[in-house]
Structure 1
Amino acid sequence: MSRFVVTGTDTGIGKTVFSAGLAGALRAHYWKPVQSGLDEGADRDHVAHLAQLPPELVLEEAYRLTEPLSPHRAAEIDAIQIDPARLSPPALDPLVIEGAGGALVPITRSTLYADLFAWWNLPVIVVARTGLGTINHTLLTIEALRARGVPLHGVAFVGDANDDNEQTIAAMGKIRRLGRLPRLDPLTPETLAAAFAEAFPAEMFL
């Protein structure tokens, strides 16, 4: 079974690009349950392009919210009530599910993404940057997920090489280091597919 949840240590760290790389490598269905902020297009559109996925593999969100804010607040502004019961993962395999921001981002005023991950009981990949501050942010994320019994598949890094930071997180967090995706310029379907294949051996996701 190849069903993974992708979360991050923060927003804007490369989680969507990693999700696109993973979905493309697995030829998986992609699903982002809640999309906040539509001015720059939905993440599923970016993933569909970067992973070169056919339309049938790119699933519609359960909720589409206008403002680029935490889902709980964006939903309030749009006068939408998010029902976590509607966020049950589809019975598809392979499947890549992308969260929003970090693991402790609120979906509602009483539910965090980490709570949802615990309910799903699917292996979670933590995407982390490599630079200053990442040790603290990543270890806190790992600790918060483990406290809820969330199964962790490993940590994937995005950014310039920083071997000591990556090794320290893997050792102190007692988590598998999956690999590192460099920042890509230009970022295209071709450059992403090549970089992802080089950075993440296929056996990492078996």
Structure 2
Amino acid sequence: MTDPIPAVRRLGITGTDTGIGKTVVSCALAARARQLGMRVAAMKPAESGIDERPVSASGLLSDADRLRGACGNVPPLSLVRPYVLREPLAPMVAARRAGVTIALDHLNAARTALEHGQELLLVEGAGGLLVPLTATLSYADLFASWQCDMVLVAGNRLGVLNHVLLTVQALERARLPLLGIVLTSLTDHDATVAEATNFDVLQELLPTQRLLRFPWVDRVEDFDALADAAHASGLDALLGGGAAPHRRAVG
């Protein structure tokens, strides 16, 4: 008699906004998980605006391509990205304008196929936590339906304090467990006053949450470099499954 296959652990990767490093952090987590010998897959349930982006030097076309690459290029792109939408808009809006219906059943089927045989599934949202996929389904709803533990990626810039506090409150209202907040460096230039103080202020305002820094990485398509940055930044704690010490109770 063979041992039963353990349940897949799911990490939801959400952000405070667009363009703040969600995909970079998601790829870093995937690449680091592979370094640690984990079987990992990643998913971006709906990706919009991908034909607006230039082709990179390595030929990677989109966030979903990068996620697939970080996981070893094994799963079909159609599972990594079940819905692809041309216009760079919220998925609900882009889908409506394209005459596409985003269906939870289709997302569930893709997720089930993608995570077969895996230990870890990373699910990257679009924009922030409450971005709508349909009029009745937000990313928060999807993460809750899939029983994801959450990672909040926040760009280190002016305004991030408010954005983080609002998102943490929304996570608590949705009863989504928050494993950690990753404050990303968005530039390699000298830090502004806000950028130099945001981390310490967030620690003061959210003393029960795990707060991590992720550095600026020049070669975002060098998955070994991203994995090394994840390790150096303490992101291994997010892969281990443990909640932040003394995590605030929700509800």
Counterpart code for 2:73: P
How many residues end up aligned between the 2 structures? 204
Larger Rg: 2
Instruction: Answer with 18-27 or 109-118: which moved more.
Output: 109-118
Write the deviation string for residues 58-89 of structure 1: whole angstroms up to 9, x where unpaired: 64322111111100000011101111233234
Among 121, 129, 136, the residue aligned to 2:162:
136
Residues 35 and 65 in structure 1, CA contact (< 8 A), matched pair in contact too: yes
Q: 1:117 to 1:187 in 2, by over 3 A?
A: closer
SS at match of 2:175: coil
The answer on 1:167 being equivalent to 2:200 is yes
The answer on 1:205 being equivalent to 2:234 is no
Residues 121 and 151 in structure 1, CA contact (< 8 A), matched pair in contact too: no
Counterpart code for 1:113: Y
Separation in structure 1 between the aligned mates of residue 96 and residue 66 of structure 2, nearest angstrom: 26
| Shift of residue 52, structure 1, vs aligned partner | 6.2
Q: Give the match for residue 106 of structure 1.
A: 132
TM-score, L = length of structure 1:
0.88
Among 48, 58, 75, the residue aligned to 1:56:
75
TM-score, L = length of structure 2:
0.73
| Shift of residue 163, structure 1, vs aligned partner | 6.2
Query: Any residues of structure 2 matched to 1:5-24 within 5 Å, and which?
Result: 5-24=12-31
Separation in structure 1 between the aligned mates of residue 98 and residue 149 of structure 2, nearest angstrom: 32
Residues 46 and 84 in structure 2, CA contact (< 8 A), matched pair in contact too: yes
SS at match of 2:230: helix
Q: Which runs of 5+ in 1 are unaligned?
A: none
Q: Give the match for residue 94 of structure 2.
A: 74
Q: Give the match for residue 181 of structure 2.
A: 155
Instruction: Answer with 34-43 or 127-136: which moved more.
Output: 34-43
Separation in structure 1 between the aligned mates of residue 102 and residue 183 of structure 2, nearest angstrom: 31
| Shift of residue 57, structure 1, vs aligned partner | 8.0
Among 174, 178, 185, the residue aligned to 2:218:
185
| Shift of residue 202, structure 1, vs aligned partner | 2.2
Write the deviation string for residues 3-22 of structure 1: whole angstroms up to 9, x where unpaired: 21101000000100110000
Q: Give the match for residue 85 of structure 1.
A: 105
Residues 48 and 91 in structure 2, CA contact (< 8 A), matched pair in contact too: yes
SS at match of 1:140: helix
Separation in structure 2 between the aligned mates of residue 57 and residue 93 of structure 1, nearest angstrom: 18
Alpha carbon RMSD of aligned pairs, Å? Answer: 2.2
Q: Which runs of 5+ in 2 are unaligned?
A: 1-7, 35-39, 54-60, 241-251
Q: Give the match for residue 243 of structure 2.
A: none
Residues 29 and 57 in structure 1, CA contact (< 8 A), matched pair in contact too: no
Separation in structure 1 between the aligned mates of residue 25 and residue 10 of structure 2, nearest angstrom: 15
